[in-house]
Structure 1
Amino acid sequence: MTGEDRTALYRLFDESGHLLYVGVTAHPQNRWKTHRTESSWWDEVRLREIEWLPSRVDALIQEAAEIAARRPRYNKHPGRSTPSAGETRSVKHQAKLGEVPRARPSGATEQELAEFDRRVEAKLRGPEPVVDGLPGPAERAAIRQAARWKQSDVAELLQVHRLTVSAWEQGKSEPRGESRKRYIYLLDKLKARADGAPQPDAGA
């Protein structure tokens, strides 16, 4: 895989921090121009958040998962495409069960769709073991709180929206790519700080 495979997952927020839209693109500036001319809601956008992922398939999978879990205001359909044949449960019901949405993204090549389906099936069979040291959602929040940091502090340092940090701590989405590496490093540092903090005197 080369740097040319990198694809951006982008999130658009309004002035109140509400998630308006999630999409993928290899060329964010071109996508902004397209939205400006074709999206009637573009004037509502106040914050653009970009997360670079290793491949287009990674970005498409993350996009589908976030649309199902976070319900952006202007994403009309999960994965922006028609659900695959044989699907009987709604994406909303799948999201409650913590499952990966089965909608196959449009605009992808046959090879990307095949890889997308393979990885979705793997996730539906069971969670992959964590091998990079990222704690589970509840522990992420506990580490941050023990260090007396706010979600906004984490968001500012990682250059993401506070609602994205909230989604990570609730298990609604997972950090990917460089954001994941920085998040792991930050949590390690916060945990070490909390573990090394002076304990109150038991006799006090």
Structure 2
Amino acid sequence: MYRLYDEAGRTLYIGMGRNPMGRWAAHANQHSWWPDVVRFSVHWFPTRQDAAAEERRALREEATVHNIHGTERHGLVTGAGVRRALGDRRNFFERSPAAE
């Protein structure tokens, strides 16, 4: 399991994998926040299940900046979550009168 930190010491992201450096390369290619990472920590566990349990605990209890899955933000940034958050304000799938 690994944690990525910014210059101020905030935990940007918590993740896990057998090859943390490989995961970091993927993060570097996929996420605009990657340049903010200045430090990391890695903690190895006896089993993948142990690592997953600790990752779940950490995501519930620690305030990360960019994790979504496993946090209370999960579902709020997906398409369904955005539609729920907007409620009755507008149906994005209906054509507007101006478009007809």
> Aligned runs of 1:39-188 on 2, under 5 Å?
39-78=31-70
Runs (4 or more) in structure 1 with deviation over 6 Å come to: 79-82
Distance 1:46 1:64 in 2: 24
What is the root-mean-square deviation of aligned Cα atoms in Å? 1.8
Higher relative contact order (CA 8 A, sep 6+): 2
Q: Structure 1 length normalisation: TM-score?
A: 0.34
- Partner residue of 1:16? 8
Distance 2:50 2:32 in 1: 28
Pair 1:77–1:29, CA change in 2 (3 A): closer
2:68 is paired with a residue whose SS is coil
* 1:37 and 2:29 aligned: yes
2:67 is paired with a residue whose SS is coil
Distance 2:47 2:31 in 1: 26
Unpaired runs of 5+ residues, structure 2, are 76-100
1:48 Cα offset (Å): 0.8
Structure having the larger proportion of residues in helix: 1
1:26 maps to which of 9, 15, 18 = 18
Distance 1:16 1:71 in 2: 14
1:77 Cα offset (Å): 3.0
Identical columns (%) = 35
1:78 Cα offset (Å): 1.6
Distance 1:29 1:77 in 2: 20
Distance 2:65 2:36 in 1: 11
Q: Structure 2 length normalisation: TM-score?
A: 0.68
1:40 Cα offset (Å): 1.3
Q: How many residues align?
A: 74
1:29 Cα offset (Å): 1.5
